[in-house]
Amino acid sequence: MQENNIITIKNLSKSYGRKKVLSDISLDIAAGQVIGYIGTNGAGKSTTVRILIGLDKEFEGEVFINGYNVKKDPLAVKKIIGYIPEVAALYDVLTPMEYLNLVGQLHEMSESNIRERATQMLGFFGLTHQLDQRMDSFSKGMRQKVLIVAGLIHNPSIIFMDEPLTGLDANTVILFKEIIARLAQQGKTIFYCSHMMDIVEKVSDRIILLKDGRILADGSFAELKQQNDGSLEAIFSQLTGTSDTNTQVDGFLNAIKDAE
């Protein structure tokens, strides 16, 4: 592994029974890069993230995070990364402050530091009055804000995000895009897995496109645009073979019409 690579993936493959989800993925990711990891449904995006963060050790190949072998030392990896999932099981009987205190202590933060950061970060998301309210009454968006804070509260240098904007309102999405930009300016390495092409296009300095468990494209948006003109959404459609949307929509609407 080269010294400037904070994430190294060598010949990564993963199967569920006879179904191969990832096929011989190899990547070197330098410290400070913002990676936009995109692909069709079932392409293997979330599976890749689960492996990188040490939640799945049943795979072929090698994965290193900041020099740690993910398969051999997943706990060491979990200590140095941040993770913001699309959906996570929050403890509904806990308040945001209690939950974040648990997360912070797992990262060996002091209670005073946890309280100070949690108060500021939750306040940023408009949850000041819900700090000590049980989360069983929280909306999807409110829960997602708590997950975002939980993934960042220990100030990790490597951050994995798997569809982190699910359930958030438009204003919060705008704020979060700025958060990603500022984290990148601080030199954080961000692995951003999403289907929201406009956001990936704006925040990523390197985009990796996955289809059927294989890498179809890897480069900056400018580099991808040289070979396939248009927005990232248009490039995605061209490369994945889903560009004939009019025919697909006609078929869908005709199915409705024929059922009358």
Sign of CA dihedral 183, 160, 243, 229: positive
Q: How confident is the model at residue 234 (pLDDT cuts 50, 70, 90)?
A: confident
Class of domain 5-82+137-143+156-241: alpha beta
Instruction: Report the percent of the chain where pLDDT is more than 90.
Output: 63
Hey, where are the domains in the chain?
Answer: 5-82+137-143+156-241
Question: Which of these, 67, 121, 73, 78, lies nearest to 96 by C-alpha position?
Answer: 121
Average pLDDT over residues 88-112: 92
Given a cut of 90, is residue 151 above it in pLDDT? yes
- Each residue's pLDDT tens digit, 174-209: 898 899 989 988 999 999 998 888 888 888 999 999
Average pLDDT over residues 13-23: 93
Contact 152, 184 (CB under 8 A): no
Euclidean distance between CA atoms 217 and 47, whole angstroms: 18
pLDDT of 135: 94
Q: Which of 68-77, 163-172, 247-256 has the lowest mean pLDDT?
A: 247-256
Q: How confident is the model at residue 239 (pLDDT cuts 50, 70, 90)?
A: confident
